[in-house]
């Protein structure tokens, strides 16, 4: 996506990925830490943080 690095950092700071279906979920970090993050697709609570530098 053609976004600014600053905007990207802000974006990925609160984006999580479902471990089950790998869909992205936007979530405030306080909700994530409280365990209230739920995937919209498969309603799984198993989320992981999107890593900025995860290029292989
Ligand atoms: Zn899911």
Using the mean position of ligand 1's atoms as its centre, give its distance from the Cα of residue 41 in Å: 5
Contact 34, 42 (CB under 8 A): no
pLDDT of residue 49: 85
pLDDT of residue 21: 96
Using the mean position of ligand 1's atoms as its centre, give its distance from the Cα of residue 12 in Å: 17
Using the mean position of ligand 1's atoms as its centre, give its distance from the Cα of residue 17 in Å: 8
Each residue's pLDDT tens digit, 1-56: 566 666 655 555 588 999 999 999 988 888 888 889 999 999 999 999 887 665 56
Contact 11, 3 (CB under 8 A): yes
pLDDT of residue 44: 95
pLDDT of residue 12: 53
């Amino acid at each position: 996506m053609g976004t600014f690095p600053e905007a990207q950092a802000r974006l990925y700071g609160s984006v999580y990925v479902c471990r089950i279906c790998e869909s992205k979920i936007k979530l405030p970090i306080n909700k994530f830490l409280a365990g209230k993050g739920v995937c919209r697709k498969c309603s799984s609570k198993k989320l992981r943080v999107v890593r900025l530098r995860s290029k292989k």
